[in-house]
């Protein structure tokens, strides 16, 4: 893995580096304590990532239970009530307790390192944000045992992850399941907003010397965009949850249709959050691709300014497309047309990004190590996912596709095929930096191929029941509709993905103890995080770095052809 | 690698970055604005959609006095900012105290208004859509006034005990920015609730 | 050689995609969005083919380029040099900004045309009015022009070139959000409380069309099925005529005058927008059959007869939720049972309408449809059989 073209790392002067000494484990309790009180961005980042991985397993098991239930028509593996809880919790968990935290985790870890800072702008706010998000996750799951629900099996939320009113109002959702949901999301939202503020302040105010705006690596740029989106998009969700709680606890009528309230208003509020949210999830995945693809193609990213502009553009356009989730709700034809157009416009900046990645590959010398394998699969899958998105945005056709399994296939194609794949790529790529050891390549390739096979079995096939009229969120279906075989293939694929994830988990644990030592720069990369030891000391850099181009390490390694000459 | 000093000769002279306090406060204000925006949209959307009274026109009175107090506090806090910048602690204490006082008066005014609405007009958050939207929006703003006031009180304690000095003027400014935001939101809320809404 | 192998692989891939989609098209599915014979569904279908074509081309184009790049530019063994660094090119980047813009313009205009022509289609004079009311886990259908109320199974006349008879539907909900979706007839339209949405269907072929609720609405969302019967005009007329009779007329004056009540139906969703589910559209039961008022003898109570069934039905809570027009049963919470036996299924398509299922249903609806809002009435077995016997007479 390591390349010989690099000067051997000399290691931090032992006299200066007191990390080992300071972080000596001591007793087990001291170790736990030190992680709980930590304000170090790297530790918090790792906490975020571990927390998200645990919930990935939980939500994945929920998904598999969904798939078992749908294996046969009229299956009674779980009751309808349980099924509704399963997909609600699966969706909510995957989006709020897996997607957001893992992306924030990488952001926390990488942003300060990549801009050459010693920590985030507000380390204590950072810790607060993490712990409140952690609290939110535990609260959400406490609902399973926290109350004897209406039907005796706990009272986990069962109103779908978009929780359309008035199903969430007291008369239709008695008990406390919806309260757990609303409060957990509210708390999680506060954590997200805190982190977003922190990341923005870090990117703009903590850069090392010489790192002008046009030299910030793409990852921090995209994280800044994402954080901006979080500020303007998660806040409406927070507001909407507050309204829902006012309705449920104080007897308000925001979404009470009997008192003249409106169900559509909730839908608007939710999707004003919900749509930007999906770009909040995908932009970090793009950010990983922006770092990984160039390094393994051995070429600088193609069209850096266009990449920045396109990302910011995606951020802005995505604020104006939310109602494409509501084409069937009864908007005027003008409204439908407007949101069709605005949605389609997103494909222009995303297209620019896609083609720039292609152009980065073009003329390179591509190395197929595990992170790159995941990134390449990501490219193919992302294009398909985006194109099914375009199909969905054709409002007149959307009347057929909406709320069918075609939509489920579309969004898993993005959420799994693009985001989870890029998260895996990022894990393989930065694990050496975080732990000092490489992940096992053989297991990595096994993981990759299992994941690709499982993914395509599950989510390619899932489009077809949708086209054949299968709505989502149904706990069972009729045998005479021609959906059975397709559902069975999908279910098997889900389990293959499960095995793939298990391989990853094994690899993570195994390599932590047995992995090959990584050294500071195993991939022969170019950004600042590779300029310090793996794992980096608490203070990140012995000497505050100073940069003169976008790829400071490239300049060091290639004094004959430095980037700084071109900027 | 770690020891490789990433020091290139930098042509740029001094390396200046925006201050993180201000940037963070701007971020917080962005987030808060979107929260308020949602409540304002709900308020406007539900205007006149009630299935039962009372209507805003019947019960709302324009709170001129409180509004004047709150808006003028923005001016006084600016005087306080200037004072601390020049290290005039006594003047700072005065203007800061006036600002807090005005905020308290505003809150008291709101309290009286709510009392009248609840006791006299029987309008609660449960009565109808208007009640729900009104108490939520005005209450959300009032809660921001309370938070701002508490933070100013803490600062006041520091100022009175002599822990506040000119070099802290930057932090005072960040807090003042928040206060200006709270005032600006009131202009919007006032327009929506008492001008458009009636 | 290498590129040959690749070409083969690519063709195989394309063939696979085609095969799969072929399966989807021709699968024996009664709910495929691609097999349709109605006007709006047909237009949506043509549009979808067009969009599929364009996006398919884009995919083939982009993925071929990707494949080519990956194969062509892979690192060779032993080569440790770095490739030339290229930072960008304005011309190329402009071209892949402008071409997508052009594609989008085409896609948008095509969509807009279909969108406006379907959504803003004028309503012809002779259109059939239907009011659809979604309830938690069942459908209520009203024909205001005929004063007919029925549940779960919608009947529409077929529409031909010479005698066009599109159905214009107003949709609203009594509780939470639902969505009306019969893929072969049209895309879906959401059914919301406190709001009236509209859609229209112009069916060209008779037959039974299946669909189901497409908006999550609670535990039994999965079994909120839909059945739409497209009848010949004659069948439809006969069906309407049968539905118009109250049970009072049926029993008192067999084959009595047709269509006795023809006043305009109440409008759902008045100004305040609150659904007035209580306003019955049937003539009030001016002469409720009196059978129910006579206390039956002990001997009679043992019998399993329709007469006795009606007695039990009318003395249990059934009537507070169900209507049997012409009797004291005027509840609006559950489906109208006046002509229950004219339907093929119960519980919105959950099970076929047979004696056994009816018995089981009355005994405990949650056995057949867990989460259904009809409670188990805890009647004796005999009472259940009596009620069933009665219900079986509601032709
Ligand atoms: C990270 C997640 C993510 C991402 C990135 C996207 C991206 C897109 N999504 Fe998706 N979407 C979801 C997650 C995501 N979506 C989720 C979770 C839901 C369902 C929520 C729920 O109901 O529970 C959903 C639902 C959803 C709907 C509503 C479906 C319905 O319920 O009826 C629509 C409709 O327009 C849509 C469209 C799009 C479009 C146009 C894009 C675009 O951004 C895609 C753009 C990309 C490309 C187009 C490919 C690359 C470009 C080129 C190769 C250039 C050339 C292309 C052209 C000129 C066309 N999405
Ligand atoms: C980031 C987001 C994300 C991710 C990664 C996934 C991943 C998966 N999702 Fe999910 N999904 C959503 C977000 C996501 N989903 C959302 C938002 C909804 C909508 C919810 C709603 O409608 O309210 C949804 C809904 C949804 C449905 C529709 C439910 C319905 O409408 O009725 C289905 C059905 O198949 C499904 C399946 C899967 C599967 C099989 C995976 C797989 O990729 C999961 C793979 C992972 C694992 C399997 C876990 C790891 C393995 C183990 C823990 C070991 C145990 C394994 C074995 C014993 C084999 N998802
Ligand atoms: Cu009604 Cu789903
Ligand atoms: Cu969207």
CA pair distance C180, C154, nearest whole angstrom: 12
Lowest mean pLDDT among A353-362, A471-480, C38-47, C155-164: C38-47
Q: Can you give the pLDDT at residue C223?
A: 92
Whether B189 shows a pLDDT value over 60: the answer reads yes
Do C73 and A297 make contact, defined as CB atoms within 8 angstroms? yes
Q: Can you give the pLDDT at residue C258?
A: 38
Beta bridge partners of C182: C186
Ligand 4 mean position to B102 CA, how many Å?
A: 45
Does residue A91's CB lie within 6 angstroms of at least one atom of ligand 2?
Answer: yes
Whether C3 shows a pLDDT value over 50: the answer reads no
Q: Which of A498, A372, A370, A546 is closest to A445 using CA atoms?
A: A370
User: Hey, where are the domains in chain C?
Assistant: 28-57+89-232, 261-391
Binning pLDDT at 50, 70 and 90, where does residue C277 land? very low
A7 touching chain B per CB within 8 A = yes
Q: Can you give the pLDDT at residue A15?
A: 45
CA pair distance A154, A142, nearest whole angstrom: 9
Q: Looking at chain A, which subunits does it touch, using at least 3 CB pairs closer than 8 Å as the criterion? A: B, C
Domain that residue A409 falls in: 15-566
**Do C213 and C192 meet the contact criterion of CB atoms below 8 Å apart?**
no
Span B41-69, average pLDDT: 89
Do A122 and B34 make contact, defined as CB atoms within 8 angstroms? no
**Do A428 and A439 meet the contact criterion of CB atoms below 8 Å apart?**
yes
Q: What residues have CB less than 8 Å from A435, skipping those under 6 apart?
A: A511, A512, A515, A518, A534, A535
- Please name the residue of chain C whose CA is at the shortest distance from the CA of residue A479: C29
Beta bridge partners of C231: C157
Task: Name the residue of A58, A75, A94, A456 whose CB sits within 8 Å of the most ligand 2 atoms, as the mutation to test its pocket.
Answer: A94
Do C179 and A403 make contact, defined as CB atoms within 8 angstroms? yes
Which chain B positions have a beta carbon within 8 Å of A116's beta carbon? 6
Q: Can you give the pLDDT at residue C233?
A: 92
> Residue C37: what are its φ and ψ, rounded to 5°?
-135, 25
Mean pLDDT of chain C: 81
**Do A209 and B6 meet the contact criterion of CB atoms below 8 Å apart?**
no
Ligand 4 mean position to A278 CA, how many Å?
A: 7
Flag whether A502 is in a domain: yes
Q: What residues have CB less than 8 Å from A417, skipping those under 6 apart?
A: A377, A378, A381, A382, A384, A385, A455, A459
- Residue A121 Cα, gap to closest chain B Cα (Å): 7
**Do A525 and A2 meet the contact criterion of CB atoms below 8 Å apart?**
no
Mutation target among C42, C169, C211, C219 for the A interface, most CBs of A within 10 A: C219
Which chain A positions have a beta carbon within 8 Å of C43's beta carbon? 396
> Residue C139: what are its φ and ψ, rounded to 5°?
-115, 140
CATH number of the structural domain B21-196: 1.20.120.80
Across the A:C interface, residue pairs with CB atoms under 8 Å apart total 290
Mutation target among C102, C136, C192 for the A interface, most CBs of A within 10 A: C192
Q: Which two tokens stand for residue C197?
A: 């949405």
Cβ atoms within 10 Å of A525's Cβ, excluding its own: 20
Option in A259, A548, A555 nearest B128 (CB): A259
Q: Is the ipTM of this complex over 0.85?
A: yes
CA max distance for chain A? 75
CA pair distance A123, A206, nearest whole angstrom: 12
CA pair distance A254, A257, nearest whole angstrom: 8
Cβ atoms within 10 Å of A83's Cβ, excluding its own: 24
- Residue A350 Cα, gap to closest chain C Cα (Å): 10
CA C282 to each of CA A163, A410, C276, C322, C323: distance values in angstroms, whole numbers, following the listed order: 36, 46, 14, 13, 10
Q: How many domains does chain A have?
A: 1
Angle (CA) A41 A47 A51, round 5°: 145
Q: Which two tokens stand for residue C131?
A: 């009011």
CA pair distance A254, A133, nearest whole angstrom: 27
- Residue A190, domain CATH: 1.20.210.10
Q: Looking at chain B, which subunits does it touch, using at least 3 CB pairs closer than 8 Å as the criterion? A: A
Beta bridge partners of C128: C167
Whether C68 shows a pLDDT value over 60: the answer reads yes
CA pair distance B39, B37, nearest whole angstrom: 5
Ligand number nearest to the C-alpha of A403: 1
Do A383 and C111 make contact, defined as CB atoms within 8 angstroms? no
In order, the DSSP letters of C21-69 are HHHHHHS--TT-TTS--BHHHHHHHHHHHHHHHHHHHHHHHHHHHHHHH
Q: Can you give the pLDDT at residue A3?
A: 37
Residue whose pair of structure tokens reads 């050459």 in the numeric block: A116
CA pair distance B16, B126, nearest whole angstrom: 53
Q: Which of A13-22, B42-51, C96-105 has the highest mean pLDDT?
A: C96-105
**Do C379 and C317 meet the contact criterion of CB atoms below 8 Å apart?**
no
Q: Which two tokens stand for residue C172?
A: 């609203």
Q: What residues have CB less than 8 Å from B58, skipping those under 6 apart?
A: B121
Whether C189 shows a pLDDT value over 80: the answer reads yes
Does residue A473's CB lie within 6 angstroms of at least one atom of ligand 2?
Answer: yes
Q: Which of C324, C273, C361, C321 is closest to C149 using CA atoms?
A: C324
Flag whether A2 is in a domain: no
What topology is assigned to C28-57+89-232 in CATH? Immunoglobulin-like (2.60.40)
The count of C-alpha atoms lying within 13 angstroms of the C-alpha of A410, restricted to the half-sphere facing its C-beta, is 21
Does residue A371's CB lie within 6 angstroms of at least one atom of ligand 2?
Answer: no
Which helix (H) or strand (E) segment holds residue A110: the answer is helix A100-114
Q: Can you give the pLDDT at residue C263?
A: 36
Bigger pLDDT: C75 vs C291: C75
**Do A220 and A111 meet the contact criterion of CB atoms below 8 Å apart?**
yes
Span C82-86, average pLDDT: 86
Q: What is the pTM of this model?
A: 0.91
A262 touching chain B per CB within 8 A = yes
Bigger pLDDT: C154 vs B50: C154
- Residue C235 Cα, gap to closest chain A Cα (Å): 26
From first to last of its 567 residues, chain A has per-residue pLDDT tens of 333 333 434 444 444 555 555 555 577 888 888 888 889 999 999 999 999 999 999 999 999 999 999 998 999 899 898 899 999 999 999 999 999 999 999 999 999 999 999 899 999 999 999 999 999 999 999 888 776 555 555 578 889 999 998 899 988 888 888 899 999 999 999 999 999 999 999 999 999 988 888 899 999 999 999 999 999 999 999 999 999 999 999 989 999 988 888 999 999 999 999 999 999 999 999 999 999 999 999 999 999 999 999 999 999 999 999 999 999 999 999 999 999 999 999 999 999 999 999 999 998 999 999 999 999 999 999 999 999 999 999 999 999 999 999 999 999 999 999 999 999 999 999 999 999 999 999 999 999 999 999 999 999 999 999 999 999 999 999 988 889 999 999 999 999 999 999 999 999 999 999 999 988 889 989 899 999 988 899 889 988 888 888 888 888 888 877 777 776
A203 touching chain B per CB within 8 A = no
CA pair distance A314, A229, nearest whole angstrom: 10
- Residue C20 Cα, gap to closest chain A Cα (Å): 8
Which helix (H) or strand (E) segment holds residue C191: the answer is strand C186-191
Task: Name the residue of A274, A306, A325 whose CB sits within 8 Å of the most ligand 1 atoms, as the mutation to test its pocket.
Answer: A325
Flag whether A56 is in a domain: yes
Do C51 and A391 make contact, defined as CB atoms within 8 angstroms? yes
Q: Can you give the pLDDT at residue C82?
A: 85
Ligand 1 mean position to C204 CA, how many Å?
A: 34
**Do A353 and A411 meet the contact criterion of CB atoms below 8 Å apart?**
no
pLDDT tens readout for residues B74-105 = 999 999 999 998 888 899 999 999 999 999 99
CA pair distance A356, A437, nearest whole angstrom: 32
A116 touching chain B per CB within 8 A = yes
Whether B45 shows a pLDDT value over 80: the answer reads yes
Span C61-75, average pLDDT: 93
Beta bridge partners of C208: C229
CA pair distance C10, B143, nearest whole angstrom: 62
Binning pLDDT at 50, 70 and 90, where does residue C325 land? confident
> Residue A18: what are its φ and ψ, rounded to 5°?
-105, 15
Binning pLDDT at 50, 70 and 90, where does residue C126 land? confident
CA pair distance B124, B135, nearest whole angstrom: 8
Residue positions counted in chain A:
567
Who surrounds ion ligand 4 at CB < 5 A?
A: A 275
Q: Can you give the pLDDT at residue C163?
A: 84
Classified as helix, coil or strand, C203 is strand
Secondary structure (H, E, C), A321-372: CHHHHCCCCCCCHHHHHHHHHHHHHCHHHHHHHHHHHHHHHCCCCECCCHHH
> Residue A477: what are its φ and ψ, rounded to 5°?
-145, 170
As separate numbers, helices (DSSP H) first and strands (DSSP E) second, chain B gives: 6, 0
Ligand number nearest to the C-alpha of A64: 2
Does residue A350's CB lie within 6 angstroms of at least one atom of ligand 1?
Answer: yes
Ligand 3 pocket by Cβ (under 6 Å): C 134, 178, 213, 215-217, 221, 224
- Residues of B with a Cβ under 8 Å from any A Cβ are 1-10, 12, 15, 17-20, 23-24, 27-28, 30-35, 37-39, 42, 45-46, 49-52, 125-126, 128-129, 131-133, 136, 140
Span B179-198, average pLDDT: 93
CA pair distance C309, C291, nearest whole angstrom: 11
* Pairing label, strands C345-346, C351-352: antiparallel
Which chain A positions have a beta carbon within 8 Å of C179's beta carbon? 328, 402-403
Cβ atoms within 10 Å of C32's Cβ, excluding its own: 20
Classified as helix, coil or strand, C160 is coil
Binning pLDDT at 50, 70 and 90, where does residue C256 land? very low
Cβ atoms within 10 Å of C316's Cβ, excluding its own: 15
Cβ atoms within 10 Å of A286's Cβ, excluding its own: 27
Binning pLDDT at 50, 70 and 90, where does residue C252 land? low
CA pair distance C302, C299, nearest whole angstrom: 5
Q: Can you give the pLDDT at residue A18?
A: 52
Q: Can you give the pLDDT at residue C394?
A: 87
Look at domain C261-391 and name its CATH class: mainly alpha
């Amino acid at each position: 893995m390591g390349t010989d073209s690099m000067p051997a790392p000399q290691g931090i002067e032992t006299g200066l580096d007191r990390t080992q000494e300071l972080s000596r484990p001591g007793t087990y309790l001291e170790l736990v304590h030190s992680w709980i009180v930590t304000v170090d961005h790297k530790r918090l980042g790792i906490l975020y990532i571990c927390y998200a991985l645990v919930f990935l397993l939980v939500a994945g098991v929920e998904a598999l239970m969904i798939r078992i239930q749908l294996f046969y028509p009229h299956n009674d593996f779980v009751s309808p009530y349980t099924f509704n809880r399963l997909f609600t919790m699966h969706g909510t968990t995957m989006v709020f307790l897996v997607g957001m935290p893992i992306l924030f985790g990488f952001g926390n870890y990488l942003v300060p390192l990549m801009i050459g800072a010693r920590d985030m702008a507000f380390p204590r706010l950072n810790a607060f944000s993490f712990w409140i998000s952690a609290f939110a996750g535990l609260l959400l799951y406490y609902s399973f045992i926290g109350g004897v629900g209406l039907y005796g099996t706990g009272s986990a939320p069962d109103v779908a992850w978009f929780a359309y009113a008035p199903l969430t109002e007291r008369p239709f959702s008695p008990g406390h399941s919806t309260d757990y949901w609303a409060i957990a999301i509210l708390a999680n939202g506060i954590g997200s907003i805190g982190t977003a503020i922190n990341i923005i302040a870090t990117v703009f105010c903590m850069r090392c010397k010489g790192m002008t705006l046009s030299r910030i690596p793409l990852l921090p740029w995209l994280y800044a965009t994402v954080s901006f989106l979080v500020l303007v998009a998660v806040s409406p969700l927070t507001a909407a949850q507050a309204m829902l709680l006012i309705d449920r606890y104080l007897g308000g009528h925001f979404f009470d249709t009997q008192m003249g309230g409106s169900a559509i208003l909730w839908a608007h509020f939710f999707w004003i959050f919900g749509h930007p949210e999906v770009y909040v999830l995908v932009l970090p995945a793009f950010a990983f691709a922006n770092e990984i693809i160039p390094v393994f193609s051995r070429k600088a990213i193609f069209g850096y300014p266009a990449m920045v502009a396109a990302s910011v553009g995606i951020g802005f356009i995505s604020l104006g497309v939310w109602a494409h989730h509501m084409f069937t709700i009864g908007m005027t034809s003008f409204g439908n047309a407007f949101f069709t157009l605005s949605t389609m416009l997103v494909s222009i900046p995303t297209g620019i990004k896609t083609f720039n990645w292609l152009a980065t590959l073009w003329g390179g010398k591509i190395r197929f190590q595990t992170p790159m394998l995941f990134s390449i699969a990501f490219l193919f899958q992302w294009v398909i996912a985006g194109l099914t998105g375009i199909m969905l945005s054709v409002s007149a056709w959307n009347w057929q596709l909406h709320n069918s399994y075609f939509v489920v296939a579309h969004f898993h194609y993005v959420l799994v095929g693009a985001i989870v794949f890029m998260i895996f790529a990022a894990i393989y790529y930065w694990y050496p930096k975080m732990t000092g050891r490489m992940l096992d390549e053989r297991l990595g390739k096994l993981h990759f191929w299992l994941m690709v096979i499982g993914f395509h079995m599950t989510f390619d096939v899932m489009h077809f029941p949708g086209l054949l009229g299968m709505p989502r969120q149904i706990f069972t279906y009729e045998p005479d509709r021609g959906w059975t075989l397709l559902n069975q293939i999908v279910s098997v694929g889900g389990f293959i993905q499960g095995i793939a994830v298990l391989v990853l988990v094994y690899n993570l644990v195994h390599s932590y103890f047995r992995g090959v030592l990584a050294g500071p720069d195993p991939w022969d990369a170019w950004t600042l995080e590779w300029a310090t030891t793996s794992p980096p000391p608490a203070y990140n850099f012995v000497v505050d770095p100073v940069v003169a181009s976008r790829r400071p390490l490239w300049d060091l390694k290639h004094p004959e052809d430095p980037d700084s000459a071109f900027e | 690698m770690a020891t490789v000093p990433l020091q290139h000769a930098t042509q740029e002279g001094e390396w200046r970055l925006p201050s993180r306090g201000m940037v963070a406060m701007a971020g917080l204000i962005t987030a808060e604005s979107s929260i308020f925006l949602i409540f304002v949209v709900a308020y406007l959307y539900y205007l006149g959609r009630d299935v039962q009274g009372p209507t805003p026109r019947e019960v709302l009175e324009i709170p001129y006095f409180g509004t004047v107090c709150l808006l003028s506090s923005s001016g006084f806090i600016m005087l306080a900012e200037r004072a601390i910048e020049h290290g005039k602690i006594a003047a700072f204490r005065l203007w800061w105290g006036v600002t807090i006082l005005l905020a308290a008066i505003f809150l008291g005014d709101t309290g009286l208004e709510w009392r009248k609405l609840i006791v006299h007009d029987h309008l609660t958050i449960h009565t109808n859509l208007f009640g729900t939207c009104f108490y939520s929006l005005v209450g959300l703003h009032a809660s921001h006034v309370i938070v701002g006031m508490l933070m100013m009180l803490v600062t006041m304690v520091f100022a009175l005990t002599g822990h506040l000095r000119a070099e802290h003027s930057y932090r005072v400014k960040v807090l003042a920015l928040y206060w200006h935001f709270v005032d600006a939101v009131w202009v919007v809320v006032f327009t929506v609730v008492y001008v458009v809404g009636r | 050689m290498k590129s040959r192998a690749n070409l083969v692989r690519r063709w195989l891939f394309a063939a696979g995609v085609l095969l799969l989609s072929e399966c989807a098209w021709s699968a024996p599915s009664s709910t495929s969005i691609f097999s349709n014979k109605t006007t709006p569904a047909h237009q949506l279908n043509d549009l979808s083919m067009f969009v599929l074509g364009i996006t398919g081309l884009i995919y083939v184009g982009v993925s071929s380029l990707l494949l080519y790049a990956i194969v062509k530019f892979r690192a060779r063994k032993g080569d440790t040099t770095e490739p030339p660094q290229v930072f960008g090119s304005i011309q190329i980047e402009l071209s892949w900004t402008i071409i997508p813009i052009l594609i989008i313009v085409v896609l948008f205009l095509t969509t807009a045309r279909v969108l406006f022509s379907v959504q803003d289609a004028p309503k012809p004079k002779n259109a059939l009015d239907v009011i659809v009311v979604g309830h938690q886990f069942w459908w209520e259908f009203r024909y205001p022009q005929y004063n007919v109320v029925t549940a779960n199974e919608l009947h529409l006349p077929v529409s031909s070139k010479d005698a066009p008879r599109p159905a214009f539907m107003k949709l609203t909900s009594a509780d939470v959000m639902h969505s009306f979706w019969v893929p072969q007839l049209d895309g879906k339209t959401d059914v919301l409380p406190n709001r009236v949405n509209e859609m229209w269907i112009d069916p060209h072929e008779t037959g039974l069309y299946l669909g189901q609720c497409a908006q999550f609405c609670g535990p039994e969302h999965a079994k909120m099925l839909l059945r739409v019967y497209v009848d010949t005009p004659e069948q439809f007329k006969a069906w309407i005529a049968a539905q118009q009779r109250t049970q009072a007329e049926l029993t008192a004056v067999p084959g009595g005058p047709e269509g006795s009540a023809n006043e305009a139906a109440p409008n759902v969703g008045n100004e305040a927008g609150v659904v007035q589910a209580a306003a019955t559209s049937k003539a009030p039961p001016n002469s409720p059959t009196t059978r129910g008022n006579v206390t039956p003898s002990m001997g009679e109570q043992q019998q399993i007869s329709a007469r006795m069934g009606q007695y039990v039905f009318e003395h249990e809570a059934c009537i507070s939720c169900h209507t049997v027009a012409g009797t004291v049963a005027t509840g609006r919470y559950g489906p109208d049972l006046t002509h229950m036996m004219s339907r093929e299924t119960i519980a919105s398509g959950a099970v076929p309408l047979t004696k056994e299922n009816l018995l089981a249903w009355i005994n405990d609806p949650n056995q057949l449809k867990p989460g259904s809002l009809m409670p188990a009435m805890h009647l004796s077995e005999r009472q259940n059989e009596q009620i069933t016997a009665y219900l079986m007479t509601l032709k």
